[in-house]
Structures are given as C-alpha cells and as structure tokens.
C-alpha cells in the first residue's frame, strides 16, 4: 500500500493507575496534548507503551480508547503494535484493530521461538497481514529487544509482491546502509519510519521523512525545530538541537531506562503512572535528583506544552 507518513509520530506511554491497572480515561487528554504539539500520529502498545506487559484484553481497551479519540481525524494516524510472540493473538488483535477503525497495524518478530531466517519471518508477516487485507501493515524492526537482526533490505526482497498491504517498516536500529537501501528499494515503494530519536539528524540526511519516537511525547518542539533547521540547510543549528536531544536521552540511562520517560511526562503535566514489572521505576528521591538534572538541560525551552509556538530561524 502506498502509505508514506511524515513528521513526528509519538510512541505513547500506556497510562496506568497507582495500582498498576489501566487508566484509559487519560487517553483523550493525551491525544489532545499530542495534537497541540504538532504530532501527527501515535504508535500505541509498542515498547514505550508496554505492549508486552499488557494482556490481550488490555491491548484491545487501549486500542479502543485511541480509536475513539482519533475517529474522523485524517491528520492523525494511529496504529497498534500487535505483538510478536503468538501469531494467533496477533491475528485476533489485527482484526480487532480493523473493526474499531485503526489506520494501520504493526508486528515485530517472535523473540522466544525466533524465525530461523528471513523467509520464516516473511511467512509470519504474510499470515497476519492476510487477516486484514485492507489495512496498511508495518513491520517493527527493533533487534536490540527481539534479538532478530536480519537486514531489512532482505526482508523487503522476501515480501515484495507477496503482501499487497505491506506498507513499510518502523526502523529502530543503527544500520544506516540497510536503512538507506530500504528507502531506495523499488524507487521508494515502502514507507520507512525512523525509530532512533537520538540520531534523527543522520536519518534525515539519508532521506527519512517520518519518525516514530518516545521522546516526541514530551519534547516535540525540539524535533520540529531540528527538522525545520535541516530543511532550511541550517546544519549547525540542526546539530546543536540533536545534541540537546542526546543530552536529554542520556538521562534515561542515568535514571533507569525506558521508565524514565514517564517521569518526563510528569514534568509536562501528564502523569501516566509507572511501568509494570519487571521494569524498574524511580524512587521519590531519585525523581527529585532527576528533576534537577532536567532543569539543567533548560528543558522548559523545548518541552511539549499545550500550544506549540512557531519557530523561525
């Protein structure tokens, strides 16, 4: 399918109550928050959204909540990650997503019983995509978590012409040779969405137009400025902005990893609760130290807010 998304697509956190249960009541405000900050879509129930820690029913509830918010909004694309362990569950979730009006669906490689080769991964994709033939279907490439690191250029060759609704790849890896080859495959036939916020500038340089990222949730203005600077040829400015992104992302590692994103969300006024086990969350003392480190980044100058100011250079 000829779907080519552009701009920033957030990977939202799944809002949780204090007891660890879902807080889908927050999702309408979350949707409005992203819209106000110029984000053009949401990739839900992925790594950032704790999809692997949600039950099948919970994934459907989250999907339904986002579908209700974005219904009738052609400027905002929502796609859920179906998962990547049980193919039958992925088919069930894909058909549910089609039924509630999702714009697309995504699938990542099985990571316990791993496919032996690219052809076996392609067979998984074919089986699930065929269950929703009218929906754009994306593969989510994140070998750091799945342990499946086949070249995506090889995957495109394996599925080309066999999956009519295959739209593209969410590419969360650092192999720019492979990424650029995928961008140029069949004269740009497939949509290649960049998935590493910390080196977006490098992806823009080889031709990326759309990106999916967790930090777009709370620092969208920074990336809008970066993309605008790149488009205007202001490479020094773009490089400075990318370094701000890197400095912000380094705090994720300092304070515990993926869960730190929810602490950033607290600082922009959208409390999504905590991550579920086995992910470690901050203590109250760590949060205060984190808040001080964030202030030292001048976070207020580029954080997401209710209104996105126009930036000029």
Closest to 50 measured CA to CA, from 281, 278, 275: 275
pLDDT digits (tens, 9 = 90+) for 61-112: 999 999 999 998 999 999 999 998 999 999 999 999 999 999 999 999 999 9
Catalytic residue chosen out of the listed positions 170, 223, 262, 303: 170
Catalytic residue chosen out of the listed positions 140, 153, 223, 255: 140
In angstroms, rounded to a whole number, what is the distance separating the alpha carbons of residues 129 and 164?
A: 9
Please, which pLDDT band fits residue 3 given cuts at 50, 70 and 90?
Answer: confident
Please, which pLDDT band fits residue 2 given cuts at 50, 70 and 90?
Answer: confident
170 pairs with which residues across the strands? 140, 193
60 assigned to active site: no
pLDDT digits (tens, 9 = 90+) for 260-304: 999 999 999 999 999 999 999 999 999 999 999 999 999 999 999
170 assigned to active site: yes
Q: What pTM did the predictor assign?
A: 0.95
Hey, is 171 helix, strand or coil? Answer: strand
In angstroms, rounded to a whole number, what is the distance separating the alpha carbons of residues 137 and 125?
A: 9
Scanning the chain, the segments in alpha helix (DSSP H) are: 27-36, 56-70, 87-100, 118-129, 143-146, 152-159, 176-184, 200-206, 216-231, 235-255, 260-267, 284-296
Mean pLDDT of the chain: 96
Closest to 169 measured CA to CA, from 270, 43, 259, 54: 43
Q: CB within 8 A of 170, min separation 6: which ones? A: 43, 106, 138, 139, 140, 141, 142, 193, 195, 212
In angstroms, rounded to a whole number, what is the distance separating the alpha carbons of residues 120 and 10?
A: 30
């Amino acid at each position: 399918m000829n779907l080519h998304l552009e701009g920033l697509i957030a990977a939202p956190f799944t809002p949780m109550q204090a007891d660890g249960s879902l807080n889908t009541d927050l999702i309408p405000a979350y949707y409005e928050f992203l819209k106000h900050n110029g984000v053009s879509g949401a990739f839900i129930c992925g790594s950032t959204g704790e999809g692997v820690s949600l039950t099948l029913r919970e994934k459907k509830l989250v999907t339904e909540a986002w579908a209700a918010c974005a219904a009738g909004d052609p400027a905002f694309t929502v796609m859920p990650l179906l998962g990547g362990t049980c193919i039958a569950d992925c088919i069930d979730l894909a058909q549910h997503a089609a039924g509630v009006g999702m714009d697309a669906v995504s699938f990542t490689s099985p990571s316990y019983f791993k496919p032996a080769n690219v052809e076996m991964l392609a067979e998984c994709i074919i089986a699930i995509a065929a269950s929703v033939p009218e929906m754009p279907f994306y593969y989510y490439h994140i070998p750091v978590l799945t342990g499946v690191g086949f070249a995506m250029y090889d995957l495109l060759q394996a599925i080309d012409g066999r999956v009519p609704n295959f739209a593209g790849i969410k590419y969360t890896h650092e192999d720019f040779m492979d990424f650029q080859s995928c961008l140029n495959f069949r004269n740009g036939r497939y949509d290649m969405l960049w998935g590493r916020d910390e080196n977006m500038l490098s992806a823009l340089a080889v031709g990326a137009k759309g990106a999916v990222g967790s930090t777009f949730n709370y620092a969208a203005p920074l990336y809008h400025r970066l993309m605008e600077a790149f488009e205007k040829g202001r490479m020094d400015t773009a490089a400075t902005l990318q370094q701000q992104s890197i400095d912000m992302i380094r705090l994720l590692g300092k304070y515990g990893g993926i869960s730190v994103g929810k602490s950033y969300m607290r600082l922009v006024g959208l409390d999504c609760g905590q991550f579920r086990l086995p992910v470690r969350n901050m203590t109250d003392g760590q949060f205060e130290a984190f808040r001080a480190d964030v202030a030292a980044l001048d976070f207020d100058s580029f954080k997401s807010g209710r209104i996105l100011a126009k930036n000029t250079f």
